[in-house]
Amino acid sequence: MVRRNAAALARTAKIFNMPVILTTSAEEGPNGPLIPQVTGELPNAKVIQRTGEIDAFDSEEFSDAVAATGRKNLVIAGISTDVCLAFAALSAVERGYPKIS
């Protein structure tokens, strides 16, 4: 179900021509690589390999790539809501992206 839903989100981003930035932390470690259902749907998406930062926004390369899209609203997805999403979402709000409830 997770793989199917991730692929559906990736297809939606592609259909609406949304900028996509993919990132992974310690791909060779316990987190593993990005799933092929996502990378297959978005073969031209920028992929940022982080060096273990839990919060993606702690990576300057990631933060700069997000800012470079010029978008004010973000769609953030991840495998784990209590880590992958929570830290990135909190940091996005701290950086001025709107909080949606």
Q: What is the pLDDT of residues 16-57, one digit of tens each?
A: 999 999 998 877 776 778 899 999 999 999 899 988 788 999
Instruction: Judge if pTM exceeds 0.95.
Output: no
Q: How confident is the model at residue 101 (pLDDT cuts 50, 70, 90)?
A: low
Domain spanning 2-94, CATH class? alpha beta
Question: What is the predicted pLDDT for the residue at 26?
Answer: 72
CA distance 96 to 51: 25
For residues 81-95, average pLDDT: 91
- Bridge partners, 50 (sequence order): 25
Catalytically annotated residues: 84
Mean residue pLDDT of the chain comes to: 90
Beta strands 21-25 and 46-50 are parallel
**Pair 74, 91: CB distance under 8 Å:** no
